[in-house]
Structure 1
């Protein structure tokens, strides 16, 4: 599917291609971040994801901290390269962002305590990372 088709399906609450997994979330976020400022992309993606969750009958699955944290990680990775990447190039260079380990938060386990990510507060609002990490 093209970027435009994926965004259209997602924004209409339909699962692009019949399913919508973690890597698909990352791709949609990448598309938004390629088209909009980080704050506009964050607002658009969060709103669309909440509508999508409701349309899929799973509004309880929306998680503010996970959504924001992944968006910021994607943006950071996009900014670390000198030339604009296609989705395929970005995905190949950032496999760690595409992996989701249920209950572990994927890469977010490097930034957050499990108790933090599984809290009601983290689901409702963005919480800052609570694990220390070295910046390279």
Structure 2
């Protein structure tokens, strides 16, 4: 499925819940970046993921800080590897740590205490261990 078709399913809440795994989350982030500048892509992606979770009756699963922090890591990679912007398979092959180790990458920036705070679930909170590569959201 191409990026546009995937986003259409996500935004219309017709993507089967059984298909919405971690890989699909990354595909959503990558797909939005195909069509929008990073800041707008991040906002659209976060909104779509939140709405999708609500439509699936799983609103409590959406975590805004984890979403935004993950998006900054994905978009930072795309800034440093622009050749992967147009090809999902190339992006996944070049970034296995995002696919298989994103929680460990996030723990480099956030303590468990900070991420487990209810405020972090509802709104973005700054990392307490190391800054995120926020420059990717400037363009």
TM-score range, shorter chain: 0.7 to 0.9
> Is there any run of 5+ residues in structure 1 with no aligned partner, and where?
none
Which has the larger share of helix?
2
Residue 11 of structure 1 is matched in structure 2 by 11
Deviation string, structure 1 residues 60-119 (Cα, Å, up to 9, x no partner) = 111110110111111100011253441111111111111267xxx342111110111111
| Cα 1:56/1:82, change in 2 over 3 Å | closer
Do 1:14 and 1:55's aligned partners in 2 also have CA atoms closer than 8 Å?
no
Structure 1 length-normalised TM: 0.86
Give the number of aligned pairs. Answer: 131
Two-structure CA RMSD over aligned residues (Å): 2.0
Secondary structure of the residue that 1:51 maps to in structure 2?
A: helix
Per-residue deviation, 1:15:
2.6
Per-residue deviation, 1:46:
1.3
Note if 1:118 corresponds to 2:116: yes
Residue 89 of structure 1 is matched in structure 2 by 90
Residue 66 of structure 1 is matched in structure 2 by 66
Residue 129 of structure 2 is matched in structure 1 by 131
Secondary structure of the residue that 2:98 maps to in structure 1?
A: helix
Do 1:99 and 1:106's aligned partners in 2 also have CA atoms closer than 8 Å?
no
| Cα 1:94/1:56, change in 2 over 3 Å | same
Do 2:108 and 2:129's aligned partners in 1 also have CA atoms closer than 8 Å?
yes
Structure 2 length-normalised TM: 0.84
Residue 28 of structure 1 is matched in structure 2 by 28
> Is there any run of 5+ residues in structure 2 with no aligned partner, and where?
134-139
After TM superposition, the structure 1 = structure 2 runs for residues 69-80 of structure 1, keeping only pairs within 5 Å, are 69-80=69-80
Deviation string, structure 1 residues 108-133 (Cα, Å, up to 9, x no partner) = 11111011111101101111111137
Do 1:65 and 1:125's aligned partners in 2 also have CA atoms closer than 8 Å?
yes
